[in-house]
Structure 1
Amino acid sequence: MECRIGCAACCSVISISSPIPGMPEGKPAGVRCVQLTEDNRCKLFGKPERPEVCSSLQASIDMCGDSNEAAYAYLSMIEQATSPD
């Protein structure tokens, strides 16, 4: 499955603990990644400086659903279920 262009749910909803260029402490849940363009495209896509965690995340029916809203809802649920807080 390919990512839906302009969705960026995984770049906004989930936390990322590894450093990201421009976010050396990683990215908290619910915070938009600084590497997203205004139309929700990753500025680091295909570049070596893209974090491994981002490169390894693969789109799937379970995660992405059939809409951006479904992806946001699913990832929010997963983030809450796995959050140490």
Structure 2
Amino acid sequence: MSIASMAQVCRPGCAACCTAPSISSPLPGLPHGKPAGVPCPHLDAALRCRLFGRPERPAVCGSLQPQAAMCGNSREHAMHWLGELERLTQPAR
């Protein structure tokens, strides 16, 4: 297994995965989901998820696991990587 494919622990204060991608499923306070580039309103002041481990946390949030390729060495890398993934997976207009 390569280092790029190994899971890693979330970087404190990052929350790129809670900001860059859109969420199409409903979540508490956002019945129509969350647009891309908007921080999730369930982040606390330290950028930790207040829904983590709770049943109302959207399944998509739990399915996105930190990986070296996605997270890189900085929040900026993760924001760029996830933003590009968001752009590439948008439905045709």
Please indicate the TM-score interval, normalised by the length of the shorter structure: over 0.9
**Which contiguous aligned blocks of 4+ residues in structure 1 show a shift greater than 6 angstroms?**
none
Q: Indicate the structure whose relative CO is greater, using CA pairs within 8 Å and at least 6 residues apart.
A: 2
* TM-score, scaled relative to structure 2: 0.86
In structure 2, C-alpha distance between the alignment counterparts of 1:54 and 1:72, rounded to whole Å: 16
Structure 2: any 5+ residue segments left out of the alignment? Answer: 1-7
Within 5 Å, give how 1:4-43 maps onto structure 2.
4-43=11-50
Provide TM-score, normalisation by structure 1: 0.93
Tell me how far apart the structure 2 counterparts of residues 6 and 19 of structure 1 sit (CA, whole Å): 24
**Cα distance, 1:5 vs. partner?**
1.6
The separation in 2 between residues aligned to 1:10 and 1:43, in whole angstroms, is 14
Offset of residue 16 of structure 1? 0.5
Aligned length: 85
Task: Give the residue type in structure 2 aligned to 1:69.
Answer: E
1:56 aligns with one of 58, 63, 81: 63
Structure number with greater Rg is: 2
Cα RMSD after superposing both structures: 1.0
Instruction: In structure 1, give the amino acid aligned to 2:13.
Output: G
Aligned partners of 2:87, 2:59: CA distance in 1, in Å? 22
